[in-house]
Structure 1
Amino acid sequence: MQIAYRAKDIIEAHIVAGLLKANGIETYVGGLYLQGAMGEIGAAGFSNVHVEDEDLYPARQVITEYEASSCVTTAVESGDDKPDSYARWVLLVMAVLVLIWLNF
């Protein structure tokens, strides 16, 4: 099996896997159990869609069409940086609390 698609999260991986299955390509989604390792902050880079070696080229064609469709936008294009923004605020609050605690 080879990686046909590296998704940003497990939901997108399952969407792509469903699209490939609808086109007659058997898939395996890896990284399901690694998503919770980061808690509320979304883990990236762990979700992959795998296909058989002989299905790699047709799968990549379907994926290219999926990515080219107008209904698909990435987090950068849509301006949605909430998980990243959330992480920054949590780290800032923790740093302030540590500084306050160290001063007492």
Structure 2
Amino acid sequence: MIQIFTAENAFEAHLVRGRLEADGLRAEVRGEWLTGALGELPVTGLVGVWVKNEDVERARALLQQMEEFAETDDEAAEDLSGADGMTVLFA
């Protein structure tokens, strides 16, 4: 297996894993328990998402789609910002 994504935290890693698995790829989150050993210090780079070697290209393509969607979503949120600086989100 190969690590294809380094997450800021376990929550982000599980979101990515869930998206990959929704598309039929087997993915694992590794390192999420390492962050607890470090106490209150901010930790990055310990939590990652791993996929099988043969799924790397497909997984990277899905990650690219997720990134593009996030950028589009950020732009839409900016367009919906009110004059008072409050952002309106629709689910």
**TM-score interval (norm. to shorter):** 0.7 to 0.9
- Matching residue of 1:10: 10
- Matched residue type, 1:39: G
Contact 2:5–2:48 (CA under 8 A) maintained in structure 1: yes
- Matching residue of 2:58: 58
Structure 1 residue ranges (4+ consecutive) displaced by more than 6 angstroms after TM superposition:
none
Residue 24 in structure 1 maps to residue 45 in structure 2: no
TM-score (norm 2): 0.72
- Structure 2: distance between partners of 1:71 and 1:34: 31
- Residue 11 (structure 1) shift: 0.7
User: In terms of Rg, which structure is larger?
Assistant: 1
- Structure 2: distance between partners of 1:60 and 1:14: 16
Structure 1, unmatched stretches of 5+, are 73-104
Contact 1:35–1:46 (CA under 8 A) maintained in structure 2: yes
- Matched residue type, 1:61: A
Contact 2:2–2:53 (CA under 8 A) maintained in structure 1: yes
- Matching residue of 1:34: 34
Identity of matched residues, % = 35
Q: CA RMSD in A?
A: 1.4
- Residue 20 (structure 1) shift: 0.1
TM-score (norm 1): 0.64
Secondary structure, counterpart of 2:34 in structure 1:
helix
- Structure 2: distance between partners of 1:16 and 1:71: 16
Instruction: Quickly say closer, same or farther: Cα 1:54–1:71, change in 2 above 3 A.
Output: same
Structure 2, unmatched stretches of 5+, are 75-91
Q: How many residues align?
A: 72
